[in-house]
């Protein structure tokens, strides 16, 4: 078994989406002959989900040493009850409570624009993380370094470790960094320029750079033509691990149910769908007793306002967040799963798409992402429509509504989605590590 250093501040029991990709690799890479040595941050202000931590194999070495003096002290103080956990932390995916709307609005007003600086909150941990990484390299003699971002300052740590040790380096971008058009539009001009410079500096020192869509890879190859060799860029999509989901009783619904799993936020909005829903219920003369839209997770004020303006508030239902591992009790019970892949995320495919694939429930994708549209069509898992076409949204709703009414069960073929399993992604990463570690 060949060891490799896997650097990721986000790792279970953190329940944020950024912990999911490294968890998949940690579970699947040993089967490919690679032993991950996990170098993660301590769990503090982030929400936790103990069921995710239980999914980490017992024989995997996990070191929560990615912490500078301030973070290390805070972790020490919290573990001993000297300091309390940050009350503004996001709710646990296990559903242990949510912030009140008043508290949320207050937090939103006083928060700093996260795009004002090219850095992130893990910047101050880099010097100590470099020293800790060297200790792990001496202890385990890894064959390669793999770093998963964001937070993208983790790449500074990885680049420094490569320079000091000569080990091959693979950088994995869960989302685009300097080429995320939506986020870059929110950055001041000098910040945007600095972000591009920092990204280029890291990429020039990496042996391979992973993007998680073919569209992002194509865009990066074009952007860095003449600066970074095209063959350094590789696409490895996100995935689903069928063994990660717990077998739980389905959550029954008493009417046709369209379900969205996750939190609505900037670049992910439901107003387009609601306009199509309004057209559909008017066309079919349906009430909230016939159809509902369930959001399992967080819902923002913009969605509530849009639903009220379209007189759809009675059709909109919210459920508290639940663990990813328990998610199938909702995903498989719903009649249709909603995917939002709109403007601002044209180089990304939402991570939840792959969990949707695992469920077998039909998918309605509101998408301006050609790659998402192609996967939906090739796998036959549902239908993809333009978010600007409310008539097409209404037609899609009608298609699946009538199928249920007429007793025609609709589900996807597991064989068609097998290419998107965590095992397939791990095979791609193993091949990459084989190549750079020769």
Classify 285 as helix, strand or coil.
Answer: coil
CA 214 → CA 218, 291, 369, 386, distances in Å? 6, 36, 11, 20
Third-level CATH fold of 2-239+422-436: Rossmann fold (3.40.50)
pLDDT at 83: 54
Domain ranges for the chain: 2-239+422-436, 256-419
2-239+422-436 and 256-419, same CATH topology: yes
* pLDDT lower than 50: segments of the chain: 86-110
Burial classification of residue 84, based on how many CB atoms lie within 10 Å of its CB (0-12 exposed, 13-18 middle, 19 or more buried): exposed
pLDDT at res. 409: 72
Token representation of residue 293 = 């839209």
Contact 24, 426 (CB under 8 A): yes
45 DSSP 8-state letter: S
Query: Under a CB-based contact definition with an 8 Å cutoff, are residues 165 and 138 in contact?
Result: no
Buried b / exposed e over 226-241, threshold 16 CB at 10 Å, is eebeeebbbbbbbbbb
Q: Are the beta carbons of 156 and 127 closer than 8 angstroms?
A: no
Strands 233-235 and 316-319, by their bridges, are: unpaired
Tokens representing residue 30 in the block: 């040993």
CA–CA dist 9, 66 (Å, integer): 6
Q: Which residues of 183-221 are buried (b: 16+ CB within 10 A; e: fewer)?
A: bbeebeeebbebbbebbeebbeebbbbbbbbebbbbbbb
Per-residue model confidence (pLDDT) at position 91: 36
Q: What's the pTM?
A: 0.88
Kindly give the residue spans of alpha helices, DSSP state H, lying in 80-209. 101-110, 126-140, 154-165, 181-184, 189-205
Taking alpha carbons only, the member of 101, 50, 53, 63 closest to residue 298 is 101
**Cα gap 208→231, rounded to integer Å:** 8
Instruction: Tell me if 353 sits within 8 A of 384, measured CB to CB.
Output: no
Q: How far apart are CA 376 and CA 145, in angstroms?
A: 34
- CATH for 256-419 is 3.40.50.2000
Using alpha carbons, list the distances in angstroms from residue 281 to 4, 105, 261, 287, 310.
54, 32, 22, 7, 11
Strand partners, 38: 6, 62
């Amino acid at each position: 078994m060949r060891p490799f250093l896997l650097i990721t501040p986000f790792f279970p029991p953190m329940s944020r989406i950024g912990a999911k990709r490294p968890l998949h690799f940690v579970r699947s890479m040993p089967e490919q002959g690679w032993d991950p040595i996990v170098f993660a941050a301590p769990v503090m202000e982030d929400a936790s989900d103990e069921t995710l931590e239980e999914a980490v194999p017992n024989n995997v070495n996990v070191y929560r040493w990615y912490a500078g003096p301030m973070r290390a002290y805070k972790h020490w103080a919290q573990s001993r009850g000297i300091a309390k956990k940050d009350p503004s932390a996001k709710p646990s995916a296990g559903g242990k409570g949510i912030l009140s709307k008043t508290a949320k609005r207050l937090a939103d007003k006083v928060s700093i624009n996260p795009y004002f600086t090219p850095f992130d909150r893990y910047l101050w941990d880099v010097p100590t993380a470099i020293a800790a990484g060297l200790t792990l390299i001496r202890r385990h003699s890894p064959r390669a370094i793999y770093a998963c971002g964001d937070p993208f300052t983790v790449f500074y740590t990885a680049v420094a470790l490569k320079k000091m040790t000569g080990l091959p380096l693979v950088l994995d971008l869960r989302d685009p960094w300097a080429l995320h058009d939506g986020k870059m539009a929110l950055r001041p001009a000098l910040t945007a320029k600095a972000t591009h410079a920092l990204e280029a500096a890291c990429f020039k020192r990496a042996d391979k750079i992973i993007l998680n869509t073919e569209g992002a890879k194509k865009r990066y190859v074009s952007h860095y033509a003449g600066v970074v060799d095209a063959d350094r860029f590789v696409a490895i999509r996100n995935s689903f691990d069928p063994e990660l989901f717990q077998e739980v009783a389905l959550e029954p619904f008493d009417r046709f149910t369209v379900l969205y799993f996750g939190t609505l936020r900037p670049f992910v909005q439901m107003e387009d769908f609601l306009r199509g829903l309004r057209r559909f219920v008017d066309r079919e003369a349906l009430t909230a007793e016939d159809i509902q839209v369930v959001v399992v997770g967080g819902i923002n004020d913009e969605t509530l306002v849009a639903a009220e303006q379209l007189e759809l508030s009675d059709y909109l239902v919210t459920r508290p967040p639940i663990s990813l591992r328990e998610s199938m009790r909702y995903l498989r019970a719903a009649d249709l799963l909603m995917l939002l892949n709109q403007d601002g995320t044209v180089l990304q495919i939402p991570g939840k798409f792959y969990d949707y694939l695992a469920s077998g429930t039909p998918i309605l994708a509101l998408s301006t992402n050609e790659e998402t549209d192609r996967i939906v069509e090739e796998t036959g898992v549902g239908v993809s429509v333009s978010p600007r076409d409310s008539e097409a949204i209404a037609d899609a709703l009608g298609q699946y509504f009538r199928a249920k009414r007429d007793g025609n069960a609709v589900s996807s073929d597991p064989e068609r989605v097998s290419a998107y399993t965590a095992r397939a992604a791990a095979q791609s990463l193993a091949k990459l590590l084989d190549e750079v570690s020769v």
